[in-house]
Amino acid sequence: MPSLPDAATPDAAALAKQAAAHQSHDPHVADVDLQPALFDWLCRMGDNSLVLGHRLSEWCGHGPALEEDIALANTALDLIGQTQMWLALAGEVEDAGRTADDLAYLRDTSKFRNLKLVELPNDDLAVTLMRGFLFDAFHFELLKELAGSSSPRVAEIAAKALKEVSYHLERSSDLVVRLGDGTTESHERMQAALNRLWPYTGEMFKADGVDEAVAEAGIAPKLSDVLPVWQRTVDDVLSEATLAKPDRKFDAQTGGKQGRHTEHLGFLLAEMQFLQRAYPGASW
Amino acid sequence: MTTLLPSTDQVWDWLSEVPDPEIPVVSVTDLGIVREVRWDEGTLVVAVTPTYSGCPATAVIDLMIETHLREKGIDDLRLERRLSPPWTTDWVSEEGRDKLRAYGIAPPVDGTASDGMTAGRAARLSGKSNLVIVCPRCGSNQTERVSQFGSTPCKASYRCRDCLEPFDYFKCH
């Protein structure tokens, strides 16, 4: 993870094991039948925040104003911090000795489980902010439900992340309104961004066997229950932003959750994973 | 031979000497991130909670706590990361708030944490936020937000309309 080195504890794997031994008991973590689905689902949670966090970090030093630059980088930092928690738990559930770093830096595209929405290039600020809003509205509602998960480990990560994502949603909905209901150019760009991203939004709510298994176990909500709340938030904000909801299918672009990605993810990983691939095991 | 272990009160006192690496005027105990100190037989256990999940200071804080306690003669030490309940600025001590203000950072206004709701958005858009942040330099309440984020994840950027100075606000979280 792109954070400061933990110089006090160079043996991260041993520390993770030690920490795990002192965690609150969670029957789901050791449930053999549930293990493949839970691992996949935790990778989805971690990969969404990792890939979106990486995309946002690409703005660092390129923001249109200093304040925006700082805001985008801070949001990226929150998401990457959340990634560490989700992927560490995924590694623990998998029980094959992989750490969060191993999962982030040493998997190939087909093993990534993020939504296609979050891997699309940033393009202009309109696309970046609109994507942020469409995802934040989903992420916020999902985490709210997950904070009451039957898995104490999932619930504590969600409760922590929710506080940060509340901020993301407030900020992105603010900006969608300001720019949508702004100048002619900002309005046109926001509408174009919405039209472009719309076919990718349905994937968030398209449940497969993995989603059904974790919902069945009470770990995560049914995605069909999250959808109406997301729709309400999106409708409210878009109408205040004077933007028109596209009249087209919202789930034309799916498959990311199953590892079928756009060509863009490979380029993103090539940059993100370069150092660990070129110098395996390199540390600070 | 038995060695007398320092009391947990003593350890708390030592911890109050460990500064936050980003805002060195406040200590880790002022911030409320030390959640528990206990002896597990001969091992001292210190439970620390992260502020923001991606805050890069977290690893440095662990290192500083460990170094300081070792200097005080604690050899057998374990740091635990505790996620739940998640850290809130409600845990920032009164003393910590005074120190922040004296350092030029407006302390958090309790009960105003972001809840993701759009009501706050409408209020802010109309410029009628009910959140009044007092300027830590001149005490004026005529201030405005410049950015929801600042130099660290825990702060937002503000400006005073009276003394015209920019300042950081430690966000309610």
The reply to whether B12 touches chain A by the CB within 8 Å rule is no
The reply to whether B123 touches chain A by the CB within 8 Å rule is no
* B128 CB burial (10 A radius; 0-12, 13-18, 19+): exposed
pLDDT band at A18 (very low <50, low <70, confident <90, very high): low
* A3 CB neighbour count, 10 Å cutoff: 15
CB B63 to CB A80 under 8 A?
Answer: no
Tell me how close the Cα of A11 comes to any Cα of chain B, in angstroms.
Answer: 13
Predicted pLDDT at A23: 57
Predicted pLDDT at B124: 53
Measured between alpha carbons, how far is A215 from B120 in angstroms, rounded to an integer? 32
Averaged pLDDT score across all residues of chain A: 92
Tell me how close the Cα of B83 comes to any Cα of chain A, in angstroms.
Answer: 6
Is residue A223 scored above 90 in pLDDT? yes
pLDDT digits (tens, 9 = 90+) for A137-183: 999 999 999 999 999 999 999 999 999 999 999 999 999 999 999 99
- Whole-complex ipTM: 0.88
What is the residue extent of each domain of chain A?
A: 31-278
Predicted pLDDT at A19: 54
Q: Which residues of chain B have pLDDT under 50?
A: 1
- Report pTM: 0.91
The reply to whether B125 touches chain A by the CB within 8 Å rule is yes
CB B78 to CB A18 under 8 A?
Answer: yes
Measured between alpha carbons, how far is B105 from B44 in angstroms, rounded to an integer? 34
Mean pLDDT for A61-71 is 92
CB B84 to CB A156 under 8 A?
Answer: yes
Predicted pLDDT at A1: 40
pLDDT digits (tens, 9 = 90+) for B99-125: 999 999 999 998 888 777 655 555 555
CB B114 to CB A167 under 8 A?
Answer: yes
- Rounded to the nearest 10 degrees, what angle do helices A125-146 and A35-57 cross at? 150
The reply to whether B38 touches chain A by the CB within 8 Å rule is no
Name the fold adopted by A31-278: Ferritin (1.20.1260)
Strand extents, DSSP E, B17-154: 34-40, 43-48, 77-81, 105-106, 143-147
**Residue A5 or B161, more confident:** B161
pLDDT band at A2 (very low <50, low <70, confident <90, very high): very low
Q: Over pLDDT 90: what percentage of chain A?
A: 86
Q: Choose among B52, B60, B150: nearest Cβ to A78.
A: B52
* A14 CB neighbour count, 10 Å cutoff: 10
Is residue A42 scored above 90 in pLDDT? yes
CA-CA-CA-CA torsion sign (A102, A260, A124, A190): negative
Is residue A20 scored above 80 in pLDDT? no
Measured between alpha carbons, how far is B85 from B57 in angstroms, rounded to an integer? 20
Predicted pLDDT at A13: 55
Say if residues A119 and A268 touch (Cβ distance below 8 Å). yes
Q: Find the Cα–Cα–Cα–Cα dihedral A113, A114, A117, A119, rounded to 10°.
A: -100
Mean pLDDT for A31-59 is 97
| CA nearest to B152 within chain A | A74
Predicted pLDDT at A24: 61
Hey, which residues does B81 pair with through a beta bridge? B48
* A10 CB neighbour count, 10 Å cutoff: 11
pLDDT digits (tens, 9 = 90+) for A99-119: 999 999 999 999 999 999 999
Is residue A255 scored above 50 in pLDDT? yes
Residue B170's closest CA among B67, B46, B30, B75?
B30
